[in-house]
């Protein structure tokens, strides 16, 4: 009898752990999957019609090759709950968690560069020229190593 109770307890504990893990993955821990692989560029906008957001999207569209060269992924958080990764809507993702984590109010526009180590590297509260972001990235030790390796 003790074995059955223990087995049921263990199964319930494992099931709870799996549910918690699934909730974590769907509730905004989107950055974890890019850690040590990509440099996320977070774009927060109150709406898709926001002028700063529209301009930032134009700048990104014009320089996709440079973004790819620097292992960047663009994550857009539009309104309260729309999340896009490289232009593709992410179902089950909610921008509210990232808004809270980076303290970006719902009505604010902000562009935040995250390094491959998962830490915030730069924050702009308006449209930012990608050359400024690229200049910062190109000074980072990890990026310099990547450039050396690509030359060889």
- CATH number of domain containing 48: 3.40.30.10
In a domain, 5, yes or no: no
Domain count of the chain?
Answer: 1
pLDDT for residue 1: 61
The answer to whether 125 touches 108, Cβ cutoff 8 Å, is yes
pLDDT in tens, 114-147: 999 999 999 999 999 999 999 999 998 888 788 7
In a domain, 24, yes or no: no
What domain range includes position 147?
A: 30-151
Under the banding of pLDDT at 50, 70 and 90, the label for residue 7 is low
pLDDT in tens, 73-89: 999 999 988 999 999 99
In a domain, 124, yes or no: yes
Helix axes 141-151, 130-138, angle to 10 degrees: 80
pLDDT for residue 128: 97
Closest CA to 114 of 136, 94, 141: 136
In a domain, 25, yes or no: no
- Dist CA 54 CA 57 (whole Å): 5
Q: What is the pTM of this model?
A: 0.79
In a domain, 12, yes or no: no
């Amino acid at each position: 009898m003790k074995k059955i109770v223990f087995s049921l307890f263990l199964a319930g504990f494992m099931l709870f752990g799996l549910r918690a893990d699934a909730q974590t993955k769907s509730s905004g821990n989107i950055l974890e999957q890019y850690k040590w692989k990509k440099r996320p560029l977070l774009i927060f906008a109150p709406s898709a019609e926001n002028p700063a957001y529209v301009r930032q999207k134009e700048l990104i569209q014009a320089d996709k090759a440079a973004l790819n060269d620097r292992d960047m992924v663009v994550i857009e958080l539009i309104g309260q709950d729309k999340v896009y990764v490289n232009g593709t809507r992410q179902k089950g993702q909610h921008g509210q968690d990232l808004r809270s984590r980076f303290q970006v109010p719902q009505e604010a526009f902000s562009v935040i560069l995250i390094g491959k180590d998962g830490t915030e590297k730069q924050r702009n509260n308006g449209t930012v020229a990608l050359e400024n972001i690229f200049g910062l990235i190109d000074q980072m030790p990890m990026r310099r190593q990547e450039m050396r390796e690509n030359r060889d």
